[in-house]
């Protein structure tokens, strides 16, 4: 007996190489979409979902997800403005991050898995972080612009 019965089984990882018929485009995984949502609100996550749909050939779904991301982000900011003082702040981001993660797994999870099996590549994690932070900075800039406009508008006589 040349095999140790107490040794853990060894996984045989077969590398998937990109052949000539491998997809040339990149898709983003549900985990990457979740990170984008965490960093940059629903608009960042919806940008990556829309990117996936565009690369999968569904331009209508891509446009709808971008529009939905913008609407969801504006609605989220409006809701947060009117929340009571004792409301747990962590509840809203946790909710939308997991909702977008779940939606991406259900809607695009199989397509991403097929894409990877066919030799396709995942999008860059650095792009996810960059777009997420860019969306965050943009949202903060818009909020400061609105607050500044209201503060300076009140001091001027009509």
State the pLDDT at residue 13. Answer: 47
pLDDT of residue 14: 47
Q: How far apart are CA 20 and CA 82, in angstroms?
A: 55
Residue-by-residue pLDDT tens, the chain, 158 positions: 567 777 766 655 444 555 567 788 999 999 999 999 999 999 999 999 999 999 999 999 999 999 999 999 999 999 988 889 889 888 999 999 999 999 999 999 999 999 999 999 999 999 999 999 999 999 999 999 988 988 887 655 55
| pTM score, whole prediction | 0.80
Give the C-alpha separation, 73 to 27, whole Å: 23
Q: What tens digit of pLDDT does each residue of 107-153 get?
A: 999 999 999 999 999 999 999 999 999 999 999 999 999 889 888 87
Give all strands (DSSP E) within the chain, no chain letters.
26-27, 121-122
Distance (Å, rounded) from C-alpha 12 to C-alpha 2? 19
């Amino acid at each position: 007996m040349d095999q140790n019965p107490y040794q853990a089984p060894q996984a045989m990882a077969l590398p998937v190489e990109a052949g000539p018929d491998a997809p040339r485009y990149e898709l983003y995984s549900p985990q990457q979409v979740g990170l984008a949502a965490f960093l940059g609100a629903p608009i960042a996550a919806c940008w990556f979902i829309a990117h996936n749909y565009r690369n999968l050939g569904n331009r209508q779904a891509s446009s709808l997800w971008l529009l939905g991301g913008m609407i969801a982000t504006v609605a989220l900011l409006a809701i947060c403005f009117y929340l009571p003082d004792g409301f747990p702040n962590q509840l809203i981001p946790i909710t939308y991050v997991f909702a977008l993660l779940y939606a991406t797994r259900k809607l695009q999870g199989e397509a991403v898995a097929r894409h990877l099996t066919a030799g396709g590549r995942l999008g860059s994690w650095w792009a996810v972080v960059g777009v997420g932070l860019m969306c965050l900075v943009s949202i903060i800039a818009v909020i400061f612009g609105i607050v500044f406009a209201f503060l300076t508008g009140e001091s001027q006589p009509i």
